[in-house]
Amino acid sequence: QVQLVESGGGSVEAGGSLRLSCAVSGDTDSSWSMGWFRQPPGKEREAVGAIDSDGSTSYADSVKGRFTISQDNNKNTLYLQMNSLKVEDTGMYYCAAGRRLLLRLAVSGLPPNNLDAWGQGTLVAVSS
């Protein structure tokens, strides 16, 4: 069983930065991709971006150039560096793990179905 635990959320003014972390433990699959998702208030969950086992990344258009996904060398921690935050970035942020194709489809806009593990989320609030 895989455990994902997010941290680093908080309140920030527009234009500011936050870095989210996701601690990964348990019986992980080295071929899995990891992703960040968010759910704005009253809206559906959406993909922010993903990182594959080879380190390649993909991002939703709404965050390209502002957000960066990375992992530590042991792949025990996933990060989401968020810069130039906007009010519309507000929401609950989740990390997830699963097959590369499913993560890539989610980043392209399809629902994030059938992923293998999810964290409990961390809240990001951006004020104007």
> For the chain, how big is the Rg over CA atoms in Å?
13
Q: Is pLDDT at 67 greater than 90 in this prediction?
A: yes
Taking CA atoms, 42 is separated from 47, 54, 90, 91, in Å, by 16, 35, 11, 9
31 against 88, higher pLDDT: 88
Confidence of residue 29 (pLDDT cuts 50, 70, 90): confident
Average pLDDT score, the chain: 95
Please determine, for residue 128, whether its predicted confidence score (pLDDT) is greater than 90.
yes
Contact predicate 80/93, CB 8 Å: yes
